[in-house]
Amino acid sequence: MAPRQFRRKLNKMPKNLYKLIELLLSEIMPPSNQSPTSAYDKCYYFVKTEFSLMPLFYRIPIYILIQLFFFYCFIVSGCSSFNSLTQAKQKKLVTRWEKLWHPGYILFRLIRNLVYLCYFSQSATEIKKARSEDSFQASYCLTMPSMLSCDVLVIGAGVGGTTLAHELISAGIDTLLIDEGPFIKDIYQRPAFQNFSDVWRCGGLTAAFGKPPIAYAEGSCVGGGSEINSGIFQSAPAELLNELAKKYSIEEFNSVTLQAYYEKAEAMVNAQYLEPKLDSLTLEQAAHQLNWKGTYLKVAQKNKVKQSMCETLLPAALDKGLRLIAQCKAKKLILKNGQVTEVRAIATDHTGQKHTFRIKAKSVFVCSGAIYTPYLLLKSGIKKNIGRSLQMHPTLKTLCHFKNPVSQEASSVPSYAITEFMPEIRIGGSVMSPTFIAMSIAEDWKNRHELLNKMNYCGVYYAMIKPESMGKIRYIPGCKDPLVTYKLSGTDWAQLFKGLDYLQQTMFAAGATQVIPSVENHKGWYEKTSLDTIKTLKQNTFNLMSIHLFASCPMGEDKAQCAVNSFGKLHDYQNLYINDASIIPEALGTNPQGTIMALALRNAEHFIKTRSSE
């Protein structure tokens, strides 16, 4: 079968799937709901869209699993198709299939997750301010010339790219910023499920292969990760910065030099302490009881509006003359004699039509994030120290039930964190909107469904580790997404077990009556347990995730281990730079946005200075 035909087949969903979604929704929909068809339709189209966005590496096995499930139903039910069975029979088959073998369980975990995400999605109604229509001129290319030129091309309008572009245009440098994702004006007014499909990389369904796989998330839109993140703003610990400066021979990277850039970045996104809410107070109370250190962290927020790149630096940069093209993807860098001579790009116009064109720039900054920056470079034939040292913060969540309500806000994230065990381990809280709590419940319907009626009394808290292990990013010709792998070391597992131990202690001290770790088939603990019990949990049953990615193209003067120099310029290339999370040489143990911005400010300053002196 030709690849295109195969892809089309992958996107085509059987009618049976509609029935399956109807069944999964009936598990959670109150019987009083009189007109459920629109809910079924909404979920069906959402699941279908998400499947089509999923990287091919997972889409193919998922497609095979779905077909296998329906085939299994066909055989077991005596040659009747799934959609012709009664709901009771369908339910029986789903339950049996889930018990039958592990991949069967994984399939339903995924579908339930998507269905719940869609069903419980709410618009964040408390955020009243919409971005004004005219605060932006997101330049979709209406008529695209076959070639564009500029002094500096910035590929990726995320945290690193936008901060850099803002500084360059402020210094009067002709700058073009492109992003493969869309520019979405009303991002905070939309229900979460819509943003998953439009704004999250591959619909939020990305994972690094390993035992177990680690689900990771990135933004893919103008504003990048800053549009979907929680806006927690943190500086990296001074000792760690000084240690990294030595280890990788990085110039002007010590804590004293970086302090001024951190302060400037903080002011740019209006980072400030917010009034503590119940979800934070719960954690703080536990820290006091256990006599552990903790702190409130600053959040990029003003008048209840998250201060993403699209709220802050991007409008300012556009006012100064920055050119921005949304839905424009850099496909390949063309290299000659150690220089980028042009960039091949493809843009989608407002009618959905695609245009390929070339961009000529004196200098090119790749700012496509810690996964897609190395991917673009590998695809363009640049390999030295690229994509071999990816780091992330493996994180384990627990779903906890409390005596008193903990989560009340539509999109609240606790800004308090327990720092006693940092930098190795941090205890904190996740987004506690109904959507995200429902997704935690969907992870294991059998053991958690009773919590569905007590969502206000549930909270999701996590333990996050700073690992020593590294992952890899590989370019596979013909695939539009990279293959990412990550294997945790024994030391990392020891930290994860310890992290889970501290986390469950914290939760019981905070008044939890049940603590369910994100571990397959775990019924939860009703009282404090011991580290020895935790260590008996099988590693491959952990559902790990990460939202912080780093170090896939580390910076430093040590050419043996670094991809770029101290200011982001690729070793051995004259006009090619990287400026995003990939140049941070190791996982920091802290939230990365502040450091990415501080480095972007420092590197922009260095670029502007050296450029004018040349």
Ligand X SMILES: Cc1cc2nc3c(=O)[nH]c(=O)nc-3n(C[C@H](O)[C@H](O)[C@H](O)COP(=O)(O)OP(=O)(O)OC[C@H]3O[C@@H](n4cnc5c(N)ncnc54)[C@H](O)[C@@H]3O)c2cc1C
Residues near ligand X (CB under 6 A):
155-161, 178-181, 217-221, 224-226, 228-232, 329-330, 367-370, 372, 376, 547-548, 580-581, 591-594, 596
Any idea which residue has 């065990």 for tokens? Answer: 421
Minimum CB distance to ligand X, residue 65 (Å): 26
In the annotation, is 522 catalytic?
no
Question: Which is closer to ligand X, CB of 430 or CB of 495?
Answer: 430
Alpha helices in 443-489 (DSSP H): 445-448
Token pair listed for 368: 């496509």
Question: Which is closer to ligand X, CB of 385 or CB of 391?
Answer: 391
Alpha-carbon distance of 72 to 235, in angstroms, equals 53
Question: Which is closer to ligand X, CB of 65 or CB of 310?
Answer: 310
Minimum CB distance to ligand X, residue 87 (Å): 35
Which residues in 293-436 belong to E strands, given as ranges?
A: 294-296, 298-302, 305-306, 323-325, 328-336, 339-348, 354-366, 391-392, 395-402, 416-418, 425-429
Question: Catalytic one among 102, 401, 548, 571?
Answer: 548
Question: Among 362, 294, 355, 363, which Cα is nearest to 329's?
Answer: 355
Cβ contacts of 495 within 8 Å, gap of 6 or more: 424, 425, 465, 466, 467
Alpha-carbon distance of 101 to 177, in angstroms, equals 48
Minimum CB distance to ligand X, residue 415 (Å): 9
Minimum CB distance to ligand X, residue 345 (Å): 7
Minimum CB distance to ligand X, residue 119 (Å): 20
Asked if residue 268 lies in contact with residue 281, where contact means CB atoms within 8 angstroms, the answer is no
Asked if residue 255 lies in contact with residue 238, where contact means CB atoms within 8 angstroms, the answer is yes
Question: Which is closer to ligand X, CB of 17 or CB of 283?
Answer: 283
580: exposed, middle or buried (Cβ count in 10 Å: 0-12, 13-18, 19+): buried
DSSP character at residue 82 = G
User: Which helix or strand (DSSP H or E) is residue 255 part of?
Assistant: helix 255-268
SS3 for 149?
strand
Question: Which is closer to ligand X, CB of 195 or CB of 566?
Answer: 195
Question: Which is closer to ligand X, CB of 21 or CB of 544?
Answer: 544
Cβ contacts of 92 within 8 Å, gap of 6 or more: none
52: exposed, middle or buried (Cβ count in 10 Å: 0-12, 13-18, 19+): middle
Question: Which is closer to ligand X, CB of 97 or CB of 461?
Answer: 461
Minimum CB distance to ligand X, residue 179 (Å): 4
Pairing of strands 175-178, 544-546: unpaired
| Bond before 315 cis per omega within 30 degrees | no
Token pair listed for 289: 């009881």
Question: Which is closer to ligand X, CB of 534 or CB of 584?
Answer: 584
Closest residue (Cβ) to ligand X? 158
Cβ contacts of 379 within 8 Å, gap of 6 or more: 331, 332, 475
Question: Which is closer to ligand X, CB of 16 or CB of 235?
Answer: 235
Minimum CB distance to ligand X, residue 318 (Å): 16
Question: Which is closer to ligand X, CB of 452 or CB of 483?
Answer: 483
User: Which helix or strand (DSSP H or E) is residue 284 part of?
Assistant: helix 278-290
Minimum CB distance to ligand X, residue 226 (Å): 6
Pairing of strands 458-465, 395-402: antiparallel
Q: Tell me how far CA of residue 213 lies from CA of 207, 216, 448, 484, in angstroms.
A: 6, 9, 22, 10
Alpha-carbon distance of 329 to 310, in angstroms, equals 19
Question: Among 496, 492, 487, 490, which Cα is nearest to 427's?
Answer: 496
Instruction: Please give the radius of gyration of the chain, using alpha carbons only, rounded to the nearest integer.
Output: 24
Minimum CB distance to ligand X, residue 395 (Å): 11
Token pair listed for 199: 């704004």
Minimum CB distance to ligand X, residue 180 (Å): 4
**Residues with catalytic annotation?**
548
